[in-house]
Amino acid sequence: MPGDDLIHFRKAELPPYLLLKNGNFLYKVPYRDGHAVLKVYLGSRNWFQHVSKTLGNVLLANQTSFMPAARRRTELGCIQLWKDAGFRVFDVHDDVVVDDLAADLYATYEYCPGRLYVNLLNDPGIPVEERLELWRRFLPEWHRRHQLALERREPRFVHENGDLKHIMLYNDELVFFDFEMVFRSPQRVREFVGREILSFLKSLGKTVGAEHWDRFMAETVRHYPDASLLEYTHEFAFRNKNLALRAARWMDRKVKPRARKPFAKYSVALKLQELLHTG
């Protein structure tokens, strides 16, 4: 509306600002004296894909809905939760309006032109000792979040998509993002933490490669503050108390070649077990 303090766009004005298309549409738009990221959750997937993914998430994976408005709601809730707990996340800008798009289908976030951890840790131009220090810097923050998840029985503190692509270094701060879906059950938080540990370490192995894998894993065991959670990953991968899940993972290891790769979650769990009991 003329005279208000909001920043207005229309859908037809957004394509020139396209930053990334990854199921959603992310636009780097002008904002005040700089830029912001306008995220449209109604992305490139069709209605059937949204519904089928939602059914899989809710009925099988104990995750939240994949529907666009639900993913927006989940992400905004997680951002507030993590921010209140002292983790650095994107600021949310509530003063951007897309006039011809439903308000529950988009959100606008702080633009942070930092470097992703995945790009920092695999950069051969950065000495390996500096990369190890970056990894050590992450570990206490990682553990603090796991501890909060367990103490509060809060599954939203567990990153559903644990990957080094979802951490960045910006203005010398670790910034965390990508919260569209989360796990739901307070009774299964320890299981979700174990899953996330393996997921991040799998991403670490693919990032640093076989040449540096042993050193990074040794630093993980040395500096992650709770060895019992690292130990639990072996139970999660091989001896789950849920017999159906244990059978499914046994079948996964037998049938899928990728499950036996050096940086698969099962390989990571075995590596952790070895280091915990020999280091």
Q: Is 10 in contact with 99 (CB distance < 8 Å)?
A: yes
User: At 211, which amino acid appears?
Assistant: E
Residue 203 has pLDDT above 50, yes or no: yes
Task: Compute the mean pLDDT over every residue in the chain, rounded to the nearest whole number.
Answer: 93
**Residue 177, CA distances (Å) to 111, 186, 237 in order:** 12, 22, 26
pLDDT tens-digit readout, 40-52 = 998 777 777 888 8
State the Cα–Cα distance between residues 135 and 138, nearest whole angstrom.
5
Q: 176 forms bridges with which residues in the sheet?
A: 89, 167
CATH 3.30.200 domain locations along the chain: 7-110
- Can you give the pLDDT at residue 145? 98
- Hey, what CATH topology would domain 7-110 get? Phosphorylase Kinase; domain 1 (3.30.200)
Q: Is 232 in contact with 269 (CB distance < 8 Å)?
A: no
Query: In 3D, which of 154, 34, 134, 145 has the Cα closest to residue 88?
Result: 145
- Can you give the pLDDT at residue 191? 94
Q: Which two tokens stand for residue 259?
A: 């499950």
What value does the mean pLDDT take over residues 247-267? 84
